[in-house]
Chain A
Amino acid sequence: MSEQIYSIKNGAYLYIMGVLVAIFVLVQSGIFLVRAWKRGKEIGLSTEKMKAALVSSGTFSIVPSIPIVIALLTLAATLGVPFAWTRLTVIGSMIYETTAAGAVTEVAAISKDAMGMMDAQQLLQYDLSVFSATMWVMTVGILIGPIFMLFGLKRYQGKIRQMREKNTIWTEILISALFMGMIAALGSREIAKAGVNMLTVFTGAMIMLIFGVIIHLTKAKWLESFALPVSIVAALAASAGYAILIGVV
């Protein structure tokens, strides 16, 4: 990365926008948190119970945040710190942000090869145009959530409520099947890559299965809160081991 493009990617404009976006996200979350707390009081939940829920969900959000920090470090090398940080503040999905940035970079690398030699000014312009294309793709590629929330959430919630009233079991099965379909689609992509990716998916799944069997046999419901974070951390640790064993690193 040339010094000029590096200073633009890490410049004041992107930091200012990042701070504005972060403040917005924090204020919005704060408003919903306060409203939920007041609502909890209204429906008779005790302060102790809500504090316990707050502490446990806060604690369990630390582990899923680790991949986001890893993504920030990875993306910062090519996109600069402020934009990578801004993106991971908004939606915060490691898989999405790294895939989106990678897709544009791949296309740009092929185009750059086809363009041949460029002088310093042309190269700067080209790098800036690719960087702005990356920004647009990363921004627009995941807007379906907020757009749907704006226009369709209320109606969808009403439909789900109607369906539940008609046939609760069928609605639960439908929602679970869709969720499993999504997990299967994402998981199968990693399985198809074979090697470390495949072994990591199987390790995570096996640990979840062991937790499931223990919870089912011992009726230890409290273990449910630990199943996901422990599976993630153990699969992450195992992936490092697989990488060394297979000789990827």
Chain B
Amino acid sequence: MKKKTYMMSDYEYATHRIGRISTAMALPLIISVPLLFCVIYHVMPDRSALFQGALKIIPMFYAVGAIEIINYVPMLGAGG
């Protein structure tokens, strides 16, 4: 059994483990939707739309995402 990083119940510990495993499976699945689309239809994303669109979205929503994590984790815990 792995060493616990701080005082955590067995429930919390198992919740973290299941969450990490399922997230590690979910990420490739989510990314595979556009990736396989490009492979199947032999298409490359339009570069200017991709980079300029990403530039507009990522700074704002990564900041909002970070604040959401900071807020929700103490309220909901690992299971939430």
Contact = CB atoms under 8 A, between A and B. Distances in A.
Tell me what chain B mostly uses at the interface: helix, strand, loop, or mixed: helix
Nearest to B25: A24
A111 B45 CA distance: 13
Interface residues of B, number: 56
A146 B24 CA distance: 9
Contacts of B25: 24
Interface string A126-161: 101110111111011111111111100111111011
A104 interface: yes
A39 B64 contact: no
Contacts of A135: 33-34, 37, 45
Nearest to A87: B33
Interface centre among A42, A96, A150 (most CB of B within 10 A): A150
A142 B61 contact: yes
A24 to B, nearest CB: 6
Contacts of B5: 154-155, 158
Given A137-B54, A137-B57, A186-B64, A36 B79 contact: yes
Nearest to B55: A103
Interface residues of A, number: 67
Interface stretch (A44-52, A60-68, A174-182, A206-214): A174-182
Contacts of A96: 61
Contacts of A161: 6-7
Contacts of A182: 64, 67-68, 71
A136 B50 contact: yes
A132 B11 contact: no
Contacts of B1: none
A125 interface: yes
A219 interface: no
A5 to B, nearest CB: 10
B73 A160 contact: yes
Contacts of B20: 149-150
A154 B16 contact: yes
A32 B79 contact: yes
Contacts of B41: 8, 128, 132
Contacts of B53: 100, 103-104, 107, 133-134, 137
A21 B7 CA distance: 34
Interface centre among B5, B25, B62 (most CB of A within 10 A): B62
Contacts of A158: 5-6
Interface in B11-64: 11, 14-16, 18-20, 22-27, 29-34, 36-38, 40-41, 43-50, 52-54, 56-58, 61-62, 64
A153 B19 contact: yes
Given A35-B18, A133-B45, 6 more contacts: A132-B37, A140-B54, A143-B30, A156-B73, A178-B67, A181-B67
**Top-10 shortest CB links A-B:** A104-B53, A135-B34, A133-B45, A144-B65, A133-B49, A129-B46, A133-B50, A141-B57, A158-B6, A103-B56
